[in-house]
Structure 1
Amino acid sequence: MQRRWGITVPFQELPLAGQRDLIAELPDLGYTDVWSSEANGTDAFTPLALAAAWAPQLRLGTAIVPVYTRGPATLAMSAASLAAAAPGRFALGIGTSSNVIVERWNGIPFEEPYKRVRDTLRFLRKALRGEKVTETYETFRVQGFTAGVVPDPAPPLLVAALRPGMLRLAGREGDGAILNWLSPEDVRTVVPHVHGGGAGKEVVARIFTMPDVDADTARGIARRQIAAYLNVPVYRAFHEWLGREELGPMWRAWDAGDRKGALAAIPDGVVDDLVVHGPAEHCRERIQQYADNGVTTPAIALVTPGDPADAVRALGLK
């Protein structure tokens, strides 16, 4: 089996149109995959379409596209278009996203997230095979949709999952799971729930990484990231389930409106568990621990300040 070594695109600090040379270099550096996301920056599909043209050897994946912010048919069309442009090289990762992105930024009720993901997954299975879909799901209704572009092969469908219910859905009805904000040790807790739904499932993990950054700088950046993410209800519930009691003081300070206190309350040990930093060789070894514990596709997410090119090259496998 090919060893996968993915990285998140587009790269911060570089204009989107100025990333051609670095993305074209990725295969020579040992990267096999590029994975996009969608929050308040670029959409998930445009960077992958560019990467498909700039580096045709790379596998492409979304990690993730929210199931609320595009209608089911629009999501199917976007996925089918990219899968047709890069046959056999695209994986569609979907997920709930968060109440902040869905409700506050897009004005869409964040209701019944498990059912919405399940229903979207079932719809996409049919739509991306070119079937005519007329069905009333629990969270939406589709009447007579047939995709005008049917990719061959249909892309794998991966589910962003944190806790047991969604993890089992990813393994049972999806082709695998996408993980986020966890340590290598946490992977051992999470992955069995995916494989309980079916053997041979892909497990992608976005791994926040800062190579060759001094510890104080790295921890300062990481604390801000942790506070921004792990106070969002879905991520807080995830870490409560994992038993990460060390975050209790941060959560209490955040609930009280004390943002500075929340940052200060994040222990170094939690930062070092959840964000990979240090010399590049140490970072590669730490990322490999995720793979050793059950992640099949690491998706490195650089949060390094400054020009990302040096970090990309330092973390490469060649």
Structure 2
Amino acid sequence: MTVLRGLGVTLPVDEGLTAGQYLDLARLAEEHGYSDVLVGEVAGPEVFSMLGMIAASTSRIRLGSGIVGVYQRTAVLTAMGFTTLASLAPGRVLAGLGASSPIIVEQWHGLGFDAPRARIEEYVATMRTIFRGERTDVDGEHVRSHGFRAGLGPVDVPIVLAAMNPRMLRLAGAIADVAFLTWTPPDEYGPKIALVREGAREAGRDPDEVGIAASFWAYAGDRVEEARERMRRFVLQYAMVPTHRPSFRASLSGLDRAADAWAAGDREAALRAVDDDAVAAMCALGTGDDVAARVAALREAGVDLPIALTPGAVPGDAEGPAQTIARVADAAAVRS
């Protein structure tokens, strides 16, 4: 499998934008030469509907989920979705998978959040069988399917696995085509990438055949100070997710204070614990050159595919993401 390289963009989630506005941003990314556009799935657009619109409205850019959870859909249904996309846009589809979080899986969807690594391993194996055009014969502890064969297969769809903690990073190296890292400052990528490589070697794979993608919050619009305060809230919200919290410990010195205040229901005190250094560690804000410098730092750290997550300065702001996409592309082109 060829390691994916380039510069990607993740469409902002939970922005209050319409599907048409998301589609405009995806088209803009293609016009400005981005290699990839990803669509997350939280409480905004449903991922396969949105990716289908993008696939039908673009001609070159790769498109994928960033990420789709493995609890909310069966492996068969997820593989059908990606196979359908690949039949329309062959060679342009990435299957981004991950465990999601207990909040989304348990509270929002009413499902059990159990054994994420074991589930993902069985899930990926099942999807690979379907992508090869073979019949399923899986009787795992978490994934079971017998006799299914996709009518649109076989397809060539790389599997991108989101990973943050050490065991999931090793698993990504063992079973994925690309490890998708996130919520990490540039100087912390080295040890995480080493764990991916370690997992690949333990599985008997060539570590260099596993690509490294990494996303980061980015804003290069005209309302930088508003965006900074919004991103401060993003950092806090994601740091308070139990499965994500360890990734923020090194960069957020006030993590314990924030967690205590959050648990006590004092959101304002929790927010005050997120200082400007923590925001700067996780987010790139300023001019297009400022964000392009973060892209360069990620590449220097060993990331093959940096991916800019482009929220607006406030909910409903479509202009900020558009400005970020355009200005970062121009600045990155000058740097490369």
Q: Same fold (TM over 0.5)?
A: yes
Equivalent pairs, count: 316
Q: Does the 8 Å CA contact 2:70/2:97 hold for their aligned counterparts?
A: yes
Return closer, same or farther for 1:157/1:22 CA change in 2, 3 Å cut-off: closer
Deviation string 1:53-112 (CA, Å, 9 cap, x unpaired) is 222110112111100000121111111111221111111011100001101000000111
CA deviation map 1:234-280 (0-9, x unaligned): 1113334x575442211121122211110011121111100110122
Partner of 2:82: 79
Aligned to 1:48: 51
Q: Which residue of 1 aligns with 2:271?
A: 263
CA distance in structure 2 between the aligned counterparts of 1:115 and 1:158, rounded to whole angstroms: 16
Is the contact between residue 10 and residue 16 of structure 1 (CA under 8 Å) also seen in structure 2?
no
Match status 1:199 vs 2:212: no
Counterparts of 2:187 and 2:162 in 1: how far apart (Å)? 19
Q: Give the SS at the match of 1:138.
A: coil
Contact 2:9 2:36 in 1 (8 A): yes
Do 1:207 and 1:287's aligned partners in 2 also have CA atoms closer than 8 Å? no
| Contact 2:184–2:247, Cα closer than 8 Å, also in 1 | no
Cα displacement (A) at 1:39: 0.9
Give SS of 1:68's match. coil
Structure-1 separation of matches of 2:301 and 2:119: 30
Report how far residue 140 of structure 1 moved: 2.7
Any idea what SS the aligned residue of 1:38 has? coil
Q: Aligned with 2:209: secondary structure?
A: coil
Bigger shift: 73-82 or 217-226? 217-226
Determine if contact 2:184/2:282 at 8 Å carries over to the other structure: yes
* Alignment pair present for 1:7 and 2:9: yes
Q: Matched residues in 2 for 1:145 and 1:203: separation?
A: 31
CA contact (8 A) 2:79 2:127 kept: yes
Distance 1:20 1:96, change over 3 A: closer
After the TM superposition, which of the residue ranges 136-145 and 211-220 deviates more from structure 2?
A: 211-220
**Structure 1 Cα separation of the partners of residues 306 and 178 of structure 2:** 13
Correspondence 1:224-303 to 2 at 5 A: 224-240=233-249, 242=250, 244-303=252-311
Q: Which amino acid aligns with 1:99?
A: P
8 A Cα contact 1:213 1:304, kept in partner: no
Tell me, in whole angstroms, the C-alpha distance in 2 between the residues paired with 1:216 and 1:85.
41
Q: Which amino acid is 1:107 matched to?
A: G
Cα distance change of structure 1 residues 14 and 101 upon mapping to structure 2, 3 Å threshold: closer
SS in 1 for 2:153: coil
C-alpha distance in 2, partners of 1:35/1:18?
15
CA distances 1:111-136 after superposition (whole Å, capped 9, x unpaired): 11111111101111111111111221
* Offset at residue 200 of structure 1 (A): 2.5
- 1:238 and 1:25 mapped to 2: Cα distance? 31
Q: Could you report, residue by residue, the CA deviation over 1:285-315 in whole angstroms, capped at 9, with x for unpaired residues?
A: 1122112111111121112223132222111
Provide TM-score, normalisation by structure 1. Answer: 0.92
Partner in structure 2 of residue 315 of structure 1: 328
Measure, in 1, the Cα distance between the counterparts of 2:88 and 2:285.
Answer: 36
**Runs of 5+ consecutive residues of structure 1 not aligned to the other structure:** none
Q: How does 1:21-170 map to 2 (within 5 A)?
A: 21-152=24-155, 154-170=156-172
Q: State the distance in 2 between where 1:182 and 1:236 align.
A: 11
* More displaced 10-residue stretch of structure 1: 193-202 or 275-284: 193-202
User: What is the identity, as a one-letter code, of the residue corresponding to 1:235?
Assistant: H
What is the RMSD computed on CA atoms of the aligned residues? 2.1
Please tell me whether the aligned partners of residues 97 and 160 of structure 2 are also in contact (alpha carbons under 8 angstroms). yes
Following superposition, the deviation at residue 142 of structure 1 comes to 1.5
Secondary structure, aligned partner of 1:179: strand
C-alpha distance 243-183 of structure 1, shift in aligned 2 (>3 A): closer
Distance, in Å, in 2 between the alignment partners of 1:244 and 1:38 is 26
> TM-score, structure 2 length as denominator?
0.88
